[in-house]
Amino acid sequence: MSPLCAEHIRAGYGKRTVIEDLSLEIPRGKVTTVIGANGCGKSTLLRVLGRLLAPTAGRVTLEGRPLDALRPREVAQRLAMLPQSPAAPEGMTVGELAARGRQPHQPWYRAWSPEDDRIAASAMRATGVEDLQHVPLDELSGGQRQRAWVAMALAQETEVLLLDEPTTHLDLAHAVDVLELVVALCRDTGRTIVTVLHDLSLAARYSDHLVVLKDGRLVAEGSPAEVVTSALLNDCFGLKAHVFEDPHDGLTTVVPARHGL
């Protein structure tokens, strides 16, 4: 059974509908990436899956249970979401941020335990920021800061992790670094990870499963090799591009075509 499903979802903001009649099953233990042109509904879909936005029709299920029927603490114990450009209080350190991930698991009668400390430390170690635990977030590079936020999400110990544009504002080297981390976490822990990405080549290379949206509707899904074609990129993005299998690693690669050449 898929851990996270959307069934005939309609969602939007005010009177504006962004997603219409969208059904989707997220494969367990894989990295799924949602792609599509600007304004197609990628982040809106992730907000609906993370219960940050209530659909106006349809429903989302988490492990077979309606998401809106679960208490917020139950959701936070099973599903972690990292939004675009998250903010933290000024002066907060990496260690303090990671500790926040333990809040859903702390009962009212116990604020902190050695087990919480172990899990937070493990999350920082897994994301490569353990040596930075006493450093304020505003002193970190963009890539380090993203790793610190992922550490917080990992400390929640949820099976499902939603990452909305985790490479935003990062240069290519740091973007690759974060995505390598995402793939390693999925492989090493068996977590189900859903991301939203703008870079098509990175999405194709760092995903097990792609979901393609156009005008708020699901138009294609499957492995990168199945989904990413020149025709699809032209139809959904208005992009003329060459799509081929990288001879070095066999991964699907997208190269934009120069106009007039």
**Over the stretch 134-159, which tens digit does the pLDDT of each residue have?**
999 999 998 899 999 999 998 999 99
In the chain, pLDDT over 70 holds for what percent of residues?
A: 98
As given in the structure block, the two tokens for residue 196 are 């939203």
Measured between alpha carbons, how far is 117 from 98 in angstroms, rounded to an integer?
A: 10
Measured between alpha carbons, how far is 75 from 192 in angstroms, rounded to an integer?
A: 15
Q: Is the pLDDT of residue 183 over 80?
A: yes
Measured between alpha carbons, how far is 85 from 145 in angstroms, rounded to an integer?
A: 10
pLDDT in tens, 71-89: 999 999 999 999 888 888 8
* Mean pLDDT on 111-120: 86
Residues in Cβ contact with 212 at an 8 Å cutoff, skipping those fewer than 6 apart = 34, 35, 36, 218, 219, 220, 221, 227, 232, 236
Mean pLDDT value across the chain: 92
pLDDT in tens, 242-253: 999 999 999 999
Instruction: Give the DSSP letter string of 75-87.
Output: HHHHEEEE-SS--
pLDDT score of 109: 65
| Of the candidate ranges 47-61, 168-182, 227-241, the one whose mean pLDDT is the lowest | 168-182
Contact 43, 57 (CB under 8 A): no
Contact 157, 180 (CB under 8 A): no
| pLDDT band at residue 108 using 50, 70 and 90 as cut-offs | low
| pLDDT band at residue 105 using 50, 70 and 90 as cut-offs | confident
Residues in Cβ contact with 138 at an 8 Å cutoff, skipping those fewer than 6 apart = 90, 91
pLDDT score of 87: 85
Question: Would you tell me how many other CB atoms lie within 10 Å of the CB of residue 69?
Answer: 10
